[in-house]
Amino acid sequence: MTVTRDLPGLDLPPATLERLGAFEALARRWTGKINLVAPSTVPDLWTRHIADSAQLWPLAPSAAATWADLGSGGGFPGLVIAILSGDTGPKLTLIESDGRKCAFLRTAARELGLSVTILDQRVESAPSQAAQIVSARALAPLVTLLPLVARHLAPGGTALLPKGRDWAAEIDAAHAGGWTFDAEPIPSTTDPTARVLRLQNIAHG
């Protein structure tokens, strides 16, 4: 199978693109059964979910050894990052409370030969990961998300949080809620109105 689709900002070997294509096919098959993603986004799954997830990889600190993905759902971005990072990337832990989605994550990881840890637990009750990178995509508004991120992020770590057109309002609401952080809003490669928020020094009160 040869995948001709590209990913903005990434120059990937054919084997990695083929693995992403295999993951896309798996996600399409399973979405018909358990709604891994919103049905309306399935026709554009490559851009809306795979490319949107892949843009986090070049934003991650290169020396990071651990990465926790919160509310992994259908593996966006967790399994996409696992494919892009290969055998030399950070140790990835995917946390997802939906048992059916966890079944998909385990099946996809096994079929694609990915080394990841999958926790079938709620993000707020899972053991603290103290990860150097924490990601969360389409999980909650920033003010609600930050306590979960802080729970699983190591001191000095980096959070990578894709946000839609209301990203600036979410930052304002988080500040109003007593959160402080260093924020770098990075333009999304898949949506001109969206940003990836790269956050550090997250604290409350």
Mean pLDDT over residues 166-178, rounded? 97
How high is the pLDDT of residue 40? Answer: 79
Residue 23 is assigned to a ligand binding site:
no
- Answer whether residue 7 is part of any domain: no
Question: Quick check: 152 and 123 in contact, CB under 8 A?
Answer: yes
Tokens of 23: 């993951």
- Answer whether residue 5 is part of any domain: no
pLDDT in tens, 29-79: 998 888 888 777 888 888 889 999 999 999 999 889 999 999 999 999 999
Residue 151 is assigned to a ligand binding site:
no
Question: Quick check: 71 and 98 in contact, CB under 8 A?
Answer: no
- Answer whether residue 6 is part of any domain: no
How many domains are there within the chain?
1
pTM for the model stands at 0.93
Pairing of strands 91-95, 66-70: parallel
In terms of residue numbers, what domain contains 168? 14-204
Question: Quick check: 28 and 18 in contact, CB under 8 A?
Answer: no
10 Å CB burial of residue 185 (0-12, 13-18, 19+) is: middle
Token pair 């140790």 is at which residue? 91
How high is the pLDDT of residue 31? Answer: 87
What is the residue-averaged pLDDT of the chain? 92
How high is the pLDDT of residue 41? Answer: 80
How high is the pLDDT of residue 142? Answer: 97
Question: Quick check: 161 and 149 in contact, CB under 8 A?
Answer: yes
Band of pLDDT at residue 169, cut at 50, 70 and 90: very high
Residue 123 is assigned to a ligand binding site:
yes
Q: Supply the Cα-derived Rg of the chain in whole angstroms.
A: 16
pLDDT in tens, 180-200: 999 999 999 999 999 999 999
The residue that leads in pLDDT, 166 or 4, is 166
How high is the pLDDT of residue 47? Answer: 87
- Answer whether residue 98 is part of any domain: yes
Q: What is the percent of the chain with per-residue pLDDT over 70, rounded to a whole number? A: 98
Indicate the Cα dihedral angle 139, 203, 116, 162, nearest 10°.
40
Nearest to 114 by CA among 4, 5, 203, 22: 22
Specify the CATH number for the domain of residue 173.
Answer: 3.40.50.150
CA distance 161 to 78: 12
- Answer whether residue 74 is part of any domain: yes
- Answer whether residue 55 is part of any domain: yes
- Answer whether residue 36 is part of any domain: yes
pLDDT in tens, 137-155: 988 999 999 999 999 999 9
How high is the pLDDT of residue 156? Answer: 96
- Answer whether residue 9 is part of any domain: no
CA distance 36 to 63: 31
Tokens of 17: 């693109």
Question: Quick check: 79 and 96 in contact, CB under 8 A?
Answer: no
Mean pLDDT over residues 7-26, rounded? 88
How high is the pLDDT of residue 10? Answer: 80
pLDDT in tens, 95-143: 999 999 999 999 999 999 999 999 999 999 999 999 999 999 988 999 9
